[in-house]
């Protein structure tokens, strides 16, 4: 992975940088090699890089002053939540600091009448739901890492989960943020209402992978918990039957709360690991979950059962109680570690395809990994076409890590060629950065990436991620006919 | 054409059928009429996707989707009720960014725009987003361009997420003589997950829409009635007709009424109501999070921006969709930091400032 050439002058100033930032955040700067080591990588463990320093601010004012100082001194910044990104979004830069947001760990307010909560970015996803559970509410997006991943990271990556088809990813569930720009400007986008004035900058910031600003507060939409949830376990003799069944369910006007699929290797790995009662003699297993009132859930599951019967479903079980429903999910949610048991290493790929291409793309995936001498297990958010092939390899065998990466890249290109996209929920980060040119034209990328010039014209926030190259903002600014009267000097600052 | 206009600094009024004059492009040196955009329509019900030229008439889109029992879940309000110039195009609906009654439950217009192609103010032809349901690849330009009123780029093709039309619906009518009582009833109704897909208030009555499959609709209605104040029930086509009326301002706007649209936290709606003059008429939608204020023509200089600010602090805003010339701007200036950022965003898309310059958000032009 090629990163931008580090600025040796910045690295040489490490002590001075640490001292200056300590003056802003006393007891919140880590600069020794052992101390910064745990921050050296995120969930994409293939890559590792120590930063110049780690700064752990507690207040928005500190974030603003740290960013303003780094802006003035040409020091790059990578914001980090819990470090669970699977695409290297929080991978440090050799000539930059890591801005760790873990101390922003409070839920500031919950407003049940307006159905929203104001939370700090270091709060974990699951903690939001837990804090409001006693009132019968929850926060809908539920990425698999929800016990650890932070809301700030969720906003940066527009994180998804297994209930996206019905409840959406982070973006539709995000009402507002407090955002600090690289120059220290503090802005509020959106709020407790359902619509912001002016351009949808909130929508732009959500999923911008830490390139546009640092979120110091988020207002999220909360929902009353469904009265009941039940799941069906459905086994099929072929992936094609299962995938036709998914299309038929949707075409019948049913939007299940969850619609997951696993292929045979994933089923067997999960069953060996957690004994969820999965049938091991089927080629595809589907979990279909309905939620809502008891009558609604019964009705939906009955209709799904009928449709499955018409698509050669050979194994059917409905959860009879909450424990069993959770057991059905336990296998699916443990699919990654389960694959980790049968392979010494695995590489989780994340692409989205039009669902009808599933059979063809799975065939291509098998061929790709076979060509690289590796194995694969597939789990699939079937409802919204989001595919997670888990490429199995052994990092101890020379060449296999590179082979797994190469196979992952080929799989993602196959997704794009099938009419899909490079990432459904894990983000581009460093992992898929160089594949962006496969999905987008040079002009498409230019139109996107130059937006960074409006937020961070010096390119100091998380450079080297998301885009293969960044626009030269100075050239861009020369074309700004309005720049002469932009009110820069009056920007509110702390 | 855009490149030529940019080179000569000639502004363009970006427009479809001109159905939304109140929030349309405003004055410019020349018109960029998009009604002639060609292209095929690709509706794939099983994938929940619809790709179409921006010039496609909105009423055609809705009838096309209805053939497969699908819909645009954000229930785009028809501009005809407000401006009386037809139903407009899908491009206009997306560029306006307006969402109807189901917004509070199924998401806003911006949540259903998955991808688009267009032309920037520099004349670059680009594509953004994708043609799949779940996609986080790159910056979310579809959301940024939704509601940008044609001031950043000209959309030529749009991909939308479409959803099943609920097969059955009913509406509970609950008396509520004040906005405070109405907001309380609507908040209570939404404390539990009960299939509510519409919550509005007008003329002393809360309207609560419940949608579901026919097999379960009555159970949901019974459950709602059991925990809410006494109500009367209307079902099926009568309920559909009521919500069509709500989406089009109940047909209550008089021909010369001034129409203000004010998104705000629902709990602040009663405070706004208390500040309105006696001859103002208030309608609530989105469970109270959208206030429609209808004013007689002689109230043209009433500063709704100030009233909304007083009622909500920074949490609400107002836009005048229709009304005579006034000393009060249709949209309030953005806060300085936000205005500066918006201006920089505008300048990156349209450095010569030629795309619908009069429609840029306050401070961004």
Contact A111/A139 with Cβ under 8 angstroms? no
Same domain, A112 and A201: yes
Same domain, A118 and A220: yes
Chain B: closest CA distance from residue A422 (Å): 6
Same domain, A266 and A207: no
Task: Confirm whether A191 is domain-assigned.
Answer: yes
Of residues B164, B316, B352, nearest to A481 (C-beta): B352
Of residues B140, B187, B336, nearest to A203 (C-beta): B140
Q: What is the dihedral of CA B221, B224, B226, B227, to 10 degrees?
A: 180
Q: How far is CA A172 from CA A108, A158, B138, B202, in A?
A: 21, 9, 17, 28
Question: Least CA distance to A160: which residue of chain B?
Answer: B134
- Sequence-distant (≥ 6) Cβ neighbours of residue B296 within 8 angstroms: B254, B256, B257, B258, B279
| pLDDT recorded at residue B251 | 65
Q: What mean pLDDT do residues A93-100 have? A: 97
Structure confidence at residue A301 as a pLDDT band (50, 70, 90): very high
Tell me if B195 and A293 make a contact (CB, 8 A cut-off): yes
Task: Confirm whether B329 is domain-assigned.
Answer: no
| pLDDT recorded at residue B365 | 59
Tell me if A199 and B152 make a contact (CB, 8 A cut-off): yes
Contact A208/A154 with Cβ under 8 angstroms? no
Helix (H, G, I), strand (E, B) or coil at A96: strand
| pLDDT recorded at residue A260 | 95
User: Is B7 an 8 Å CB contact of chain A?
Assistant: no
Probe site for chain A from B119, B135, B213 (most A CB atoms < 10 A): B135
Report the DSSP pairing between strands A53-55 and A96-100.
parallel
User: Is B168 an 8 Å CB contact of chain A?
Assistant: no
Domain that residue B255 falls in: 250-322
Task: Confirm whether B333 is domain-assigned.
Answer: no
Probe site for chain A from B45, B139, B359 (most A CB atoms < 10 A): B139
| Size (chain B), residues | 365
Helix (H, G, I), strand (E, B) or coil at B99: coil
Same domain, B39 and B112: yes
| pLDDT recorded at residue A415 | 97
Tell me if A293 and B216 make a contact (CB, 8 A cut-off): yes
Chain A: closest CA distance from residue B337 (Å): 5
Tell me if A445 and B110 make a contact (CB, 8 A cut-off): no
**Distance between CA A336 and CA A66 in Å, rounded?**
37
> Which residues in chain A have their CB less than 8 angstroms from residue B191's CB?
112, 136, 224
Same domain, B33 and B68: yes
Q: Give me the tens of pLDDT residue by residue for chain B, a chain 365 residues long.
A: 899 999 999 999 999 989 998 888 888 999 999 988 888 999 999 899 999 999 999 999 999 999 999 999 999 998 988 888 899 999 999 999 999 999 999 999 999 999 999 999 999 999 999 999 999 999 999 999 999 999 999 999 999 999 999 999 999 999 999 999 999 999 999 998 899 999 999 999 999 999 999 989 999 999 999 999 999 999 999 999 999 989 887 666 778 899 999 999 999 999 999 999 999 999 999 999 999 999 999 999 999 999 999 999 999 999 999 999 899 999 999 999 999 999 999 999 999 999 999 998 876 65
Tell me if A293 and B194 make a contact (CB, 8 A cut-off): yes
Question: Least CA distance to A384: which residue of chain B?
Answer: B133
Same domain, A155 and A94: no
Structure confidence at residue A487 as a pLDDT band (50, 70, 90): very low
For B246, list phi and psi in degrees, rounded to 5.
Answer: -65, -40
Same domain, B282 and B187: no
Residue B92: which of B141, B53, B131, B39 has the closest Cα?
A: B53
Tell me if A114 and B97 make a contact (CB, 8 A cut-off): no
Chain B: closest CA distance from residue A355 (Å): 7
Domain boundary among A335, A361, A393: A335
Same domain, A298 and A360: no
| pLDDT recorded at residue B361 | 87
Tell me if A207 and B340 make a contact (CB, 8 A cut-off): no
Same domain, A119 and A202: yes
Domain boundary among A436, A467, A483: A436
| pLDDT recorded at residue A19 | 98
Tell me if A441 and B364 make a contact (CB, 8 A cut-off): no
Same domain, A53 and A149: no
Which is more confident, A481 or A357?
A357
Same domain, A220 and A111: yes
Q: What percent of chain A has pLDDT over 90?
A: 87
Number of domains comprising chain B: 3
Task: Confirm whether B191 is domain-assigned.
Answer: yes
> Which residues in chain A have their CB less than 8 angstroms from residue B344's CB?
453-455, 480, 486
Probe site for chain B from A195, A301, A361 (most B CB atoms < 10 A): A195
Q: What mean pLDDT do residues A51-60 have? A: 98
Contact B189/B225 with Cβ under 8 angstroms? no
User: Is B107 an 8 Å CB contact of chain A?
Assistant: yes
Tell me if B147 and A192 make a contact (CB, 8 A cut-off): no
Of residues B164, B286, B334, nearest to A253 (C-beta): B164
Which is more confident, A152 or B9?
A152
Same domain, B240 and B300: no
The per-residue pLDDT of chain A, averaged, comes to: 93
Domain that residue A61 falls in: 8-100
> Which residues in chain A have their CB less than 8 angstroms from residue B152's CB?
199
Same domain, A301 and A396: no
Give the residues across from B260 on adjacent strands: B293, B320
Structure confidence at residue A356 as a pLDDT band (50, 70, 90): confident
Contact A376/A369 with Cβ under 8 angstroms? yes
> Which residues in chain B have their CB less than 8 angstroms from residue A476's CB?
348
Number of domains comprising chain A: 4
Domain boundary among A417, A436, A455: A436
User: Is B226 an 8 Å CB contact of chain A?
Assistant: no
pLDDT digits (tens, 9 = 90+) for B38-60: 889 999 998 999 999 999 999 99
Task: Confirm whether A458 is domain-assigned.
Answer: no
pLDDT digits (tens, 9 = 90+) for A309-349: 999 999 999 999 999 999 999 999 888 889 988 899 999 99
Same domain, A275 and A220: no
Q: What is the CATH number of the domain that holds B256?
A: 3.30.70.240
pLDDT digits (tens, 9 = 90+) for A204-256: 999 999 999 999 999 999 999 999 999 999 999 999 899 999 989 998 999 99
Q: What is the CATH number of the domain that holds B191?
A: 3.30.70.2190
**Distance between CA A415 and CA B1 in Å, rounded?**
35
Q: In B, residues 46-85, which contact A (CB 8 Å cutoff)? A: 46-49, 69-70
- Sequence-distant (≥ 6) Cβ neighbours of residue B278 within 8 angstroms: none
Q: What mean pLDDT do residues A136-155 have? A: 95
């Amino acid at each position: 992975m090629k990163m931008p050439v580090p600025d040796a002058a910045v690295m040489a100033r490490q002590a001075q940088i640490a001292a200056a930032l300590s003056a802003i955040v006393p007891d919140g700067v880590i600069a020794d090699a052992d101390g910064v080591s745990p921050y050296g990588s995120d969930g994409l463990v293939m890559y590792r890089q120590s930063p110049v320093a780690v700064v752990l601010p507690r207040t928005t004012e500190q974030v603003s002053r740290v960013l303003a100082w780094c802006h003035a001194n040409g020091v790059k910044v990578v914001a980090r939540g819990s470090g669970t990104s699977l695409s290297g979004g929080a991978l440090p830069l050799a000539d930059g600091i890591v801005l760790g947001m873990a101390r922003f760990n409070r839920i500031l307010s919950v407003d049940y009448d307006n159905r929203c909560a104001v939370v700090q970015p270091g709060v974990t996803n699951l903690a939001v739901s837990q804090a409001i559970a006693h009132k019968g509410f929850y926060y809908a997006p539920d990425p698999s890492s929800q016990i650890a991943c932070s809301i700030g990271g969720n906003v940066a990556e527009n994180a998804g989960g297994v209930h996206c088809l019905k409840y959406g990813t982070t973006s539709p569930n995000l009402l507002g943020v407090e955002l600090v720009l690289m120059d220290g400007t503090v802005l509020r986008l959106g709020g407790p209402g359902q619509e912001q004035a002016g351009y949808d900058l909130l929508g732009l910031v959500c999923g911008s992978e830490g390139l546009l600003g640092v979120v110091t507060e988020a207002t999220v939409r909360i929902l009353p918990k469904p009265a009941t949830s039940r799941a069906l376990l459905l086994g099929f003799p072929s992936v094609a039957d299962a995938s036709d069944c998914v299309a038929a369910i949707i075409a019948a006007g049913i939007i299940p709360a969850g619609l997951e699929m696993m292929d045979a290797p994933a089923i067997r790995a999960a069953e060996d690991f957690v004994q969820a009662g999965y049938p091991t003699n089927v080629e595809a297993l589907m979990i279909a979950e309905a939620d809502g009132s008891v009558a609604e859930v019964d009705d939906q599951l009955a209709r799904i059962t009928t449709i499955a019967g018409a698509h050669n479903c050979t194994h059917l079980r409905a959860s009879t109680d909450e424990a069993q429903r959770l057991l059905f999910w336990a296998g699916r949610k443990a699919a990654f570690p389960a694959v980790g048991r049968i392979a010494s290493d695995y590489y989780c790929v994340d692409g989205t395809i039009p669902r009808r291409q599933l059979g063809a793309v799975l065939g291509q995936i098998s061929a790709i990994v076979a060509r690289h001498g590796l194995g694969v297990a597939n789990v699939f958010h079937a409802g919204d076409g989001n595919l997670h092939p888990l490429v199995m390899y052994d990092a101890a065998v020379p060449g296999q890590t590179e082979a797994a990466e190469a196979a992952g890249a080929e799989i993602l290109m196959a997704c794009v060629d099938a009419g899909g996209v490079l990432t459904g929920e894990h983000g581009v980060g460093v992992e898929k950065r160089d594949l962006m040119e496969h999905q987008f034209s040079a002009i498409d990328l230019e139109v996107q990436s130059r937006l960074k010039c409006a937020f961070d014209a010096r390119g100091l926030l998380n450079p080297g991620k998301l885009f293969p190259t960044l626009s030269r903002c100075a050239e861009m600014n020369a074309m700004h006919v309005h720049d002469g009267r932009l009110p820069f000097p009056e920007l509110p600052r702390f | 054409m855009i490149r030529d206009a940019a080179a000569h600094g000639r502004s363009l009024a970006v427009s479809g059928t001109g159905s939304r004059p109140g929030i349309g492009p405003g004055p410019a040196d020349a018109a960029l009429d998009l009604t002639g955009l060609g292209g095929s329509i690709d509706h794939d019900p099983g994938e929940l996707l619809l790709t179409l030229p921006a010039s496609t008439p909105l009423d055609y889109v809705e009838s096309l989707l209805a053939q497969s029992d699908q819909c645009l879940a954000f229930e785009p309000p028809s501009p005809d009720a407000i401006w009386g110039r037809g139903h407009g195009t899908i491009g206009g609906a997306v560029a306006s960014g307006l969402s109807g009654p189901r917004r509070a439950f199924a998401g806003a217009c911006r949540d259903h725009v998955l991808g688009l192609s267009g032309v920037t103010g520099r004349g670059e032809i680009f594509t953004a987003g994708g043609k799949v349901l779940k996609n986080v690849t790159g910056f979310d330009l579809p959301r940024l361009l939704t509601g940008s009123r044609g001031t950043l780029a000209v959309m030529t093709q749009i991909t939308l997420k479409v959803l099943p039309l609920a097969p059955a619906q009913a509406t509970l009518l609950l008396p509520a003589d004040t906005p405070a009582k109405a907001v309380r009833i609507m908040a209570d109704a939404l404390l539990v997950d009960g299939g509510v897909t519409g919550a509005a208030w007008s003329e002393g009555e809360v309207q609560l829409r419940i949608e579901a499959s026919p097999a379960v609709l009555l159970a949901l209605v019974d459950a709602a009635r059991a925990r809410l104040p006494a109500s009367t029930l209307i079902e099926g086509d009568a309920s559909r007709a009521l919500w069509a009326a709500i989406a089009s301002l109940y047909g209550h706007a008089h021909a010369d009424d001034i129409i203000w649209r004010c998104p705000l936290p629902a709990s602040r709606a009663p405070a706004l109501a208390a500040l309105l003059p006696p001859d103002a008429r208030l309608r609530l939608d989105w469970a109270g999070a959208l206030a429609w204020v209808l004013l007689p023509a002689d109230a043209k200089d009433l500063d709704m921006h100030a009233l909304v600010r007083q009622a909500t602090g920074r949490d609400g805003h107002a836009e005048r969709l229709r009304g005579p010339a006034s000393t009060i701007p249709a949209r309030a200036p953005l806060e300085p930091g936000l205005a500066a950022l918006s201006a920089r965003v505008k300048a990156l898309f349209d450095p010569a400032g030629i795309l619908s310059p009069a429609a840029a958000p306050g401070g961004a032009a």
